[in-house]
Amino acid sequence: MEDVIDAIVAELTEFKDTTAANGGCSDILTIEAVYWGDPGIIPVNSYPAFLVQPIRDIPDIETTGYEVRDLEVLVTCLIDSRSYWDATALEATGDRALTQVMERVRNWFRTDTNRHLQGLDGTREVRATNTDYMVQVRGSVVAKSAQVTLTVNKQRERVA
């Protein structure tokens, strides 16, 4: 699982610096940080941020020589909704940006090279399953978040 999260963090680091025309989000939302795991409290100047955390490790196929597992990873994008407050607006612009970014995250991991996490040993496929949107209070921040669940199907040699 650790190597999968490392690979996803590397992909998101590239994604955040890539323009929308090339599949990324740098001109939609400037992501300040990509965290391995959820540190709980994130400094206000580090929003918007991506958090990448393990959810589940599920056996798929097990033989005497190898095993295939579905590794579920949660990719969260957090924004400070106060940064997008405009009393005259009829829409929450932060929500629109969050929706656009997460659609691009799903598409990023559906491309041929990223579907195999740039050739990470044993990676058979990456699937972007569901996307959830929610509001969270984190310290003094009213954070809005979008979460995409990635399922990585990975084969490895069975260890006795």
Domain ranges of the chain: 2-157
pLDDT at 64: 83
The fourth-level CATH superfamily of domain 2-157 is: Phage minor tail protein U (3.30.70.1700)
pLDDT at 141: 75
pLDDT at 63: 84
pLDDT at 113: 66
Nearest partner of 72 among 5, 157, 158, 13, judged by Cα: 5
DSSP secondary structure letters along 13-52:
HHHHTS-GGGT--TTT----EEEES--S---GGG-SEEEE
Look at residue 5 and give its three-state secondary structure: helix
Look at residue 107 and give its three-state secondary structure: helix
Which residue ranges of the chain lie beneath pLDDT 70? 112-113, 160
